[in-house]
Amino acid sequence: MLSAAIVDVMNCATGVGADPSLSVTRTQTHQASIVKDIESGRPMEFDSMFGAPLKFAQLMNVSTPAEIP
């Protein structure tokens, strides 16, 4: 499932002319905001992190096979 979602994101990036081959350097001190939310007992930013990219893909007519019905 995660692999399909990564492909979806790369397809969206390509659809708007971005270069998805650019790499992101990870640091040992980085912690994703979703992890911080969970650890702090805050609600996750689910819609902004997952819903918004799906809506964007739909606007760009990019197939998102990892979309959960």
CB 44 within 8 A of CB 37: yes
Q: Give per-residue pLDDT as tens, 2-57.
A: 677 777 778 878 878 888 777 565 556 777 788 888 889 988 877 777 777 778 87
Domain ranges of the chain: 1-15+31-69
Q: Are 14 and 20 in contact (CB under 8 A)?
A: yes
12, 62 contact by CB (below 8 A): yes
Q: How many residues does the chain have?
A: 69
Rounded to 5 degrees, what angle do the CA atoms 41, 46, 49 make? 120
- What is the model's pLDDT at position 66? 63
